Amino acid sequence: MMYLRRFLLVGALLFKGDSSTHAQSKQVDAVAGGNIILPCMLKTPASKDIQTVEWSKVVEGRKPAIVFLYRHGCETFAMKDPDFEYRSSLIMRELQNGNFSLRISNVKLSDTGTYQCLMIQNNGTKEETKVELVVASLSDPTLSVVSADSSGVTVECEALCWMPAPLMTILDEDGNRLTDEEPKQEQDPKGCYNTKQNFILNNPVSRVVCRVDQQQRNQSKTVKILLPDFWKDSYIRAICLSVAGTTLVCISVFSLYIGLSKKCSRTDEGKQPQTTIKSDQNKKSNSHEMNSLLNQQSVAENTQNSMTEKLNK
């Protein structure tokens, strides 16, 4: 029984030597849009009789997608996944050193996943390496002034397409938080997160800092903006609006005063003609009476003169 166990053990070792598999798992972090290298080194002594090098990506529920296939010294395109067309390659000058690492350019968020490097020599020996690719996405945030008026200065910070979801913090020149409100955050169809924060500054601040952190990857980006000109313009606008408002009120009051004065004047002028008319009528009546008396006196004198002439005759 002991000899049988030894025989089976030796047979297993011999079989393993013919087709040995050394599976390793490594993690590579990448940023979307950049270039990365997935490592794969031949453990046995370098040999020129490598028959096949196959890089594939594990796809849940489907067969692995062929990322790069190298056979008999040439790349084979027939089975290559179209999503990696012109984006994956080997480092040709390193092949003789047993380095079959895969280079991926213009990395996408969708490239995240598990990759397998399988090397098969002509004698049937196999070696396998597994690499976990984690793709993150980040961009430079933007900080801008939306509006500036008497109520304050409205500032907006925006960070587009971050993965994983980031944290956004708004600070002044001394590192104090300017707002505790949570920013608006939404995930787009590509899987990355868009983050936006709007806030109003009611007190003068010379500089605002927007900091976006990706704590899982220990990455951070900041953007700054200077505000003294905006506060100056805001105060000038406030003063102008105040002066304009005061002037408008004064003009309105003065116009109302002039209107009332004209109305009173018209009322007095309307009454004065009646008094004048009555006075003129009285004058005309007195003049008429005087003329009547004068006429009567003239008639009397004429009559007297006529009688005197008759007596003299």
Q: What is the pLDDT along the chain (313 residues), one digit of tens a residue?
A: 444 344 333 343 333 334 444 455 689 999 999 999 999 988 765 556 678 999 999 998 889 999 999 998 889 999 999 999 999 999 988 888 889 999 999 999 999 999 999 998 888 888 899 999 999 999 999 999 988 877 788 999 999 999 999 999 999 988 899 988 999 999 988 889 999 999 888 888 889 999 999 988 888 999 999 887 655 555 555 555 556 667 776 777 667 767 667 666 665 555 554 444 444 555 555 555 555 555 655 555 555 555 555 444 4
Q: Which of 126, 155, 132, 118 is nearest to 234 (CA)?
A: 155
Q: What is the pLDDT of residue 87?
A: 96
Task: Tell me the fold of 142-233.
Answer: Immunoglobulin-like (2.60.40)
Virtual torsion, Cα 102, 90, 23, 164, nearest 10 deg: 0
Residue 126: alpha-carbon gap to chain centroid: 53
Residue where the block lists tokens 């490097």: 117
Tokens in use for 304?
A: 């007297």
3-state secondary structure of 73: coil
Tokens, residue 112: 């995240």
Can you read off the two tokens belonging to residue 114? 């598990």
Report yes or no: 21 and 128 within 8 Å, Cβ to Cβ.
Answer: yes
Q: What is the DSSP letter of 183?
A: P
3-state SS record for 22-67 = CCCEEEEEEECCCCEEECCECCCCCCCCEEEEEEEECCCCCCCEEE
Maximal CA-CA distance, the chain? 208
pLDDT at res. 25: 66
**Residues 31 and 136 sit within 8 Å (Cβ to Cβ):** yes
Sheet with 193-201, strands from edge to edge, namely 142-149, 152-162, 193-201, 184-187
Backbone angles phi, psi at 80, to 5 degrees: -70, 135
pTM above 0.85, yes or no: no
Q: Is the CB of residue 160 less than 8 Å from the CB of residue 166?
A: no
Sign, CA dihedral 166-171-175-178, equals negative
| pLDDT (0 to 100) of residue 281 | 52
Contact 56, 129 (CB under 8 A): no
Given a contact cutoff of 8 angstroms between Cβ atoms, the answer to whether 137 and 31 are in contact is yes
Beta bridge partners of 192: none
- Kindly report, as residue ranges, where domains of CATH 2.60.40.10 are found in the chain: 19-136, 142-233
Q: CATH classification of 19-136, choosing from 2.60.40.10, 1.10.3720.10, 3.90.1300.10, 3.10.20.30?
A: 2.60.40.10
